[in-house]
Structure 1
Amino acid sequence: MATTDHHDITGTAGAAALNRAFQRATETTSECPLFTDPYAPMFVDAAIQRGWRPPSGELAERLRALSDYTAARTKYCDEFLIAAGAVAITQAVLVGSGLDARAWRLPWLADSVVFDIDCPEILEFKRATLTACRAQPAARYVGVPIDPQSDWSAGLRGAGFDPSLPTAWCTEELLARLPPDALGSLLDRIRSLSAPSSRVAVEALPDQRAGLVDRLRQQGWAVTVTPITELLVRYRRVAREGVDHASAPSVLVEGRLRG
């Protein structure tokens, strides 16, 4: 497991999660949001009370420029999880989801369970903030406080994960944080825990696309690739001036195992 300061949400991993929460809060309060995340402003406010400073200067401009991209990615992953529920997949694993409170804000089936794998300081901050706000999850929520870049298989099983059940796996932006040689291990880990009819959604960097798709197909997944540019058109968003979306992490990949 990577070494982190488990008490400081403003550390490296926590700061990145807070920046994403800031983006989701901004989208939620926009004129025509792609999604609604009422918990994102709560995380931002709680972090400010702990001394965190919202993005400013060049970082704020960069996040603002990427706001349509980030919103489209969030919407895509939301729809992926909702679609999995529509075919009676009631077990979901979110790997490296940061401060996105999907277990609280999405419409889950009554018997659904959501496992959330992320760094201990992120999950503790999420738990403390939502508890203070008296927020209740819409599914059974199980936090798995393990660095998502490490081998979390045993920890996930120990938390009650059932590998005999179909699972919806969502990694969103995790691959952008992984060392190049860790991609195969992550996909192998997910595949080893996936029952028939499982699904996986992965965001990939452009230079990871070919290897990612090939690996998934070799493992038996039926693969669908969606470029971010296609999502921007689908959701009626446009690339903002000064942002080259072709050079951004621009491919979202879904895999499905046959039942």
Structure 2
Amino acid sequence: MITSPEELPPVSRTAVGVAALRALESQRPDRLFEDSYAGAFSVAGRAVLGDGDRLEGGLGEVFAEQVAVRTRFFDEYVRGSRQVVLLAAGLDARAFRLEWPDGARVFELDLPDVLRFKDEVLAELGAEPKCERIEVPADLTQDWVTKLREAGFDASRPTTWLAEGLLVYLGREAAEGLLARVTELSVPGSRVSFEHRPEGERDGLLQRARRVGGPVTELWRGGLGAEAPQWLAERGWQSEMVTVRDLAAGYGREVRDETTGGFLVATKR
């Protein structure tokens, strides 16, 4: 019996909606990626965003292109890495759908109920990871570092960290605490990436989402906001940003919103 998504906390339930959007993108003839597991997560999660027609006018329509570009970009970001930590891994299936180098280890951190739900869906599909996948049940607002170390994380090796769709749900203090722990665990050459919106709440995508409204937008706390690059620089990271608009153009897509948002990729010096 698959765990009901209603048993998951509100922020974690948003992962079901993102899976629905990944499933829709995977059906397009011009898809930016292929996620053969997303549809099963969407169905098991009772497809909380509905089908393509029902997405019209809702948050699904607002975020569909953003999620497509984000997934493709982060796929490319982690590809080739040998030690990866997915912070709030959610229903991402990169350990199963991407090709990994020999010896690659992917640590998936998330709440126990999220990982349990994910495992039950994957087990029904008979899915097998293409790397060493290591689950770390943990609350990222508490002591997740000890659990990560106990799971076999090697802090002496360069690490690729990914905080996909996470920081916006954290307040400033929690976001700083999370990234401070990442900094402490990162040797030179390690990388970290997450979404970044220099204009904050004035960003076109966020403004359109706020107009649509709904429980997802009510969960947003802003993370580090526009100061993220400076915060990282002060702690030994060299960061660069790529915009969703530029990425979409390179992928042959258009972005509707007047947005300067995109993704930071920072390397530990």
Using structure 1 for the length normalisation, give the TM-score: 0.85
Q: What CA distance in whole angstroms lies between the structure 2 residues aligned with 1:68 and 1:58? A: 12
Match of 1:27 among 16, 25, 28: 25
Q: Deviations over 1:153-199 (max 9, x none)?
A: 11111111110111000101111111122222121110100122111
Query: Could you tell me which residue of structure 2 aligns to residue 252 of structure 1?
Result: 263
- Would the aligned equivalents of 1:176 and 1:204 in 2 still touch at CA under 8 Å? no
Higher RCO (CA 8 Å, separation ≥ 6 residues): 1
Match of 1:118 among 99, 106, 110: 110
Query: Could you tell me which residue of structure 1 aligns to residue 215 of structure 2?
Result: none
Query: Could you tell me which residue of structure 1 aligns to residue 66 of structure 2?
Result: 69
Query: Could you tell me which residue of structure 1 aligns to residue 34 of structure 2?
Result: 36
Q: Percent identity?
A: 34
Q: What CA distance in whole angstroms lies between the structure 2 residues aligned with 1:21 and 1:186? A: 24
- With over 3 angstroms needed to count, the CA separation of the structure-2 counterparts of 1:237 and 1:101, relative to structure 1, is same
Which runs of structure 1 show a deviation greater than 4 angstroms over 4 or more consecutive aligned residues? Answer: 56-60
Match of 1:129 among 121, 133, 158: 121
- With over 3 angstroms needed to count, the CA separation of the structure-2 counterparts of 1:8 and 1:179, relative to structure 1, is farther
- Would the aligned equivalents of 2:111 and 2:137 in 1 still touch at CA under 8 Å? yes
Q: What CA distance in whole angstroms lies between the structure 1 residues aligned with 2:227 and 2:150? A: 31
Most deviating of 102-111 and 58-67: 58-67
Is 2:144 the partner of 1:152? yes
**How far 1:62 sits from its partner (Å)?**
2.1
SS at match of 2:154: coil
Q: What CA distance in whole angstroms lies between the structure 2 residues aligned with 1:134 and 1:43? A: 14
Is 2:248 the partner of 1:232? yes
Most deviating of 66-75 and 205-214: 205-214
Q: What CA distance in whole angstroms lies between the structure 1 residues aligned with 2:40 and 2:121? A: 7
Alignment of 1:1-259 (within 5 A): 8-10=4-6, 11=8, 12-48=10-46, 53-55=48-50, 61-82=58-79, 85=80, 89-206=81-198, 207=200, 208=224, 210-240=226-256, 244-246=257-259, 250-258=261-269
**What one-letter code is carried by the residue in structure 2 that aligns with 1:231?**
L
- Would the aligned equivalents of 1:24 and 1:37 in 2 still touch at CA under 8 Å? yes
Q: What CA distance in whole angstroms lies between the structure 2 residues aligned with 1:218 and 1:34? A: 35
**How far 1:58 sits from its partner (Å)?**
7.0
Q: What CA distance in whole angstroms lies between the structure 1 residues aligned with 2:144 and 2:29? A: 39
- With over 3 angstroms needed to count, the CA separation of the structure-2 counterparts of 1:184 and 1:130, relative to structure 1, is same
Q: What CA distance in whole angstroms lies between the structure 1 residues aligned with 2:182 and 2:56? A: 33
Q: What CA distance in whole angstroms lies between the structure 2 residues aligned with 1:191 and 1:230? A: 28
**How far 1:8 sits from its partner (Å)?**
4.2
Q: What CA distance in whole angstroms lies between the structure 1 residues aligned with 2:33 and 2:186? A: 29
Q: What CA distance in whole angstroms lies between the structure 1 residues aligned with 2:168 and 2:86? A: 15
**How far 1:135 sits from its partner (Å)?**
0.6
Q: What CA distance in whole angstroms lies between the structure 2 residues aligned with 1:256 and 1:192? A: 13
SS at match of 1:141: strand
- With over 3 angstroms needed to count, the CA separation of the structure-2 counterparts of 1:237 and 1:148, relative to structure 1, is farther
